[in-house]
Amino acid sequence: MTPEKEKEKEKEQDQVVVDAGMKRYRNGEIWEFEDDLGVSDGDHGVLLGVDGGTTSTVCICMPMIPFSHSQLHSLPTLARAVAGCSNHNSVGDIAARETIEQVMADALSKCGSKRSSVRAVCLAVSGVNHPTDQQRILSWLRDIFPSHVRLYVLNDAVAALSSGTVGKLHGCVLISGTGSIAYGYTEDGKEARSAGAGPVLGDWGSAYGIAAKALTAVVRAYDGRGPSTMLASSILQKLGLSSAEEIIAWTYADPSWARIAALVPAVVICAEAGDEVANNILLESVQELASSVKAVVDRLGLCGQDGKSSFPLVMVGGVLTAHRGSWDIGKEVINCISKQFPGVIPIRPKVEPAVGAAWLAWNFIMKEYKELKNDEVNYERKM
């Protein structure tokens, strides 16, 4: 067999594995609980809001109750389920789809609902950066749910924004968790984003970015290329390592984003203790996050022509809540942004982004319903 034919055969075998994996997720055992449920789940059905990130994926199930938007915050949560990473850029398509399907099945199982009772699904997941990403994930959802279910796929930043604005897409959201991104909307539907390109392309304001810089600083100090830093002893102790040389092996043994990002608390502790290297790393992250927000605000004109108009800034993610003593990253970011945009209104959501995704599902489906009713009224007038 020629080398070319061997490569073709290997490619065919790989595709068989992928197809088999996708079929397993599509027709697997996770939906068997539906066999034990009754025929109907109520008159209005349910909504699913999914927030999929690099660290975890959360699904919220809420009832589809028609009422005014002002009452949306009182919509009860019927069930909540949690699973692992669903970012396809991080774990691949098969694992991402399996996680998404499993977490939705778990939520529906907990509240005793079938897929046939679902009215809309809003899946907000990190890694959705292009229309092709949306279409691919939409195709997964179409394989899972009946044709009557409304399906919406968005970047996870949109759900985070919704969690602070009760489902309204206006203003800017800043996320800094394992990764980081700034995303904004104008009231007439224009949108813009900044950062969110992943660790390779530089989400330096994120937890991964902060921790990666800290690890680099430790290696540089050990080599003699950089100043000594408390980060060395702190990180070695946290990881249970005996020397800086071991950090290299530890890092590449499993270079998952979340594993490295978990070192951020050690950086904050060292900065609070007066370590200059750690302090500079955090100051740089503040500047990175503030510049991401500025880029979005400027592109959308959220601050108005005079630069003083008010707009909401929803702040989400573990980095923005990380503080020890006088070091509060979120507070420093707000102070930095407020100097440029005095009209900024910082919002720290009281609900998680998955709830924001469910609120978006409700808003989207109610908007479609109202447009349909208006079309019917206009048709009747013409008749």
* 198 belongs to a structural domain: no
Quote the number of domains for the chain: 2
Looking at the fold, whether 246 and 367 belong to one and the same domain comes out as: no
How far apart are alpha carbons 30 and 321 in whole angstroms? 36
> Would you place residue 290 in the very low, low, confident or very high pLDDT band (cuts 50, 70, 90)?
very high
Looking at the fold, whether 224 and 298 belong to one and the same domain comes out as: yes
Looking at the fold, whether 23 and 118 belong to one and the same domain comes out as: yes
Higher pLDDT, 92 or 173: 173
DSSP 152: E
Looking at the fold, whether 223 and 101 belong to one and the same domain comes out as: no
Where residue 28 falls (left for φ over 0; alpha for ψ -120 to 50; beta otherwise) is beta
What pLDDT was estimated at residue 200?
Answer: 81
Q: Could you tell me the CATH number of the domain that includes residue 246?
A: 3.30.420.40
Q: Which residues span the domain enclosing 224?
A: 207-347
> Would you place residue 380 in the very low, low, confident or very high pLDDT band (cuts 50, 70, 90)?
low
Query: Which tens digit of pLDDT belongs to each residue from 230-255?
Result: 999 999 999 999 999 999 999 999 87
Residues 6+ apart with CB under 8 A from 229: 217, 218, 221, 270, 275, 276, 277, 278
* 131 belongs to a structural domain: yes
Looking at the fold, whether 12 and 117 belong to one and the same domain comes out as: yes
Query: Which tens digit of pLDDT belongs to each residue from 249-268?
Result: 999 998 788 899 999 999 99
What pLDDT was estimated at residue 154?
Answer: 94
Looking at the fold, whether 372 and 301 belong to one and the same domain comes out as: no
Query: Which tens digit of pLDDT belongs to each residue from 177-205?
Result: 888 999 999 999 999 999 988 778 868 89
Looking at the fold, whether 134 and 228 belong to one and the same domain comes out as: no
Looking at the fold, whether 360 and 339 belong to one and the same domain comes out as: no
Looking at the fold, whether 8 and 146 belong to one and the same domain comes out as: yes
Looking at the fold, whether 332 and 242 belong to one and the same domain comes out as: yes
Q: C-alpha angle 81/83/85, rounded to 5°?
A: 145
* 174 belongs to a structural domain: no
How far apart are alpha carbons 240 and 343 in whole angstroms? 47
Looking at the fold, whether 217 and 334 belong to one and the same domain comes out as: yes
Residues 6+ apart with CB under 8 A from 334: 313, 315, 344, 346
* 196 belongs to a structural domain: no
Nearest to 197 by CA among 124, 282, 288, 108: 288
> Would you place residue 7 in the very low, low, confident or very high pLDDT band (cuts 50, 70, 90)?
very low
Q: What's the pTM?
A: 0.81
